[in-house]
Amino acid sequence: MTEFELIQGLRNGDESAFRYLVDTYQNRVFNTAMGIVQNAEDAEDVAQEVFIQVFRSIGSFKAESKLSTWIYRITTTRSLDLLRSRKSKKRFGFIQRLLGEDNEPTQDIPDFNHPGVELDRKENAARLFKVIGKLPENQKIAFTLHKLEDLSYQEVSEVMQTTVAAVESLMHRAKQNLRKLLEKELE
Amino acid sequence: MNTNKENRIDEILNSLDGCTQATAPDFFYTRLKARMEKEVAPAARTSWMLRPAYAFAGMAIILLINVLAVFNQPGTEDNTATSEVDTFQSLASEYRLNEGNSSISMYNLNQDK
């Protein structure tokens, strides 16, 4: 099935086209979401939301970019939304604890282990993911798409709707920040 | 910064090299379809309000409440009484019942008794 046929099928509400779309992109979407939200359950939730959004708004897709680029864009946006809502819940929980309304002890988020990392690198990768989580949003997206999804700077720039030079700069700053954060971690 | 620490940081930074793609969990499509159907269902469930029986019952209740509200307004009775007197007076003057005809009607009424 060509991309054009797939888009036409989706626009016509063809279920086999939707099935093909999910089969083709589910791992890319899940892997990207996993790198950003760093939790398998949340990543599945995000992936489901992404496909639902693709299905519902395929009519507004103008095909100015590749379908994969559009899907990556939705995935990163949805993942960041989840991180923001997680943060606001955390803040709300903190206020509740201050007011004495919720006396449950806070649970520390366990280290994230990406299933695709080789066994002997798991400990280092967990440390890296911990500091990736502290990066500014755009640096986090650029780093995740490039390192985890193996997208070129050109592809990352298309997803992020920016220039290749901007992505290069983001990656450079991301690496610098990660280095600083790791220095602190290792002290 | 000492070299050991720098090497350690490089090691951590390169830990994602050669990392394979995480695969979506089994039955992802089945769960996705179930969620999509579940998200459509609530809209259908709310349509019971649009059934004629419920719609008419609701309208009847609203009408009843309105009627009760109108008749239970304070001071309604006084106003009605005044307006009724006005109406009778205007009718009486219009048909000249206050003049000669009134005696006929009184006479007739007395005769009935």
Region class of A61: left (phi > 0), else alpha (psi between -120 and 50), else beta = beta
Residues B80-93, mean pLDDT to the nearest whole number:
72
Interface of A with B in 109-128 (CB under 8 A): 114-118, 121, 124-125, 127-128
Q: Is A149 touching B (CB cutoff 8 A)?
A: yes
Contacts of A38 in chain B (CB under 8 A): none
* CA atoms lying within 13 Å on the CB side of residue A33: 29
Contact indicator for A50, A27 with CB cutoff of 8 Å: no
The per-residue pLDDT for range A149-187, each reduced to its tens digit, is 999 999 999 999 999 999 999 999 999 999 999 999 888
Nearest CA in chain B to A49: B32
Residues B58-77, mean pLDDT to the nearest whole number:
83
Q: pLDDT class for B113, splitting at 50, 70, 90?
A: very low
Residues B1-19, mean pLDDT to the nearest whole number:
88
Q: Is the pTM of this model over 0.80?
A: no
Interface pTM (ipTM) of the complex?
A: 0.84
A33 pLDDT higher than 80: yes
The per-residue pLDDT for range A63-122, each reduced to its tens digit, is 889 999 999 999 999 999 999 998 888 777 767 777 776 555 555 566 788 988 888 889
B29·A149 Cβ contact <8 A? no
What was the pLDDT predicted at A185? 87
Q: Of A47, A147, A179, which is closest to B16 when you measure between CB atoms?
A: A147
CA distance linking residue B5 with residue B14, whole number of Å: 14
Residue A93 tokens read as 């929980």
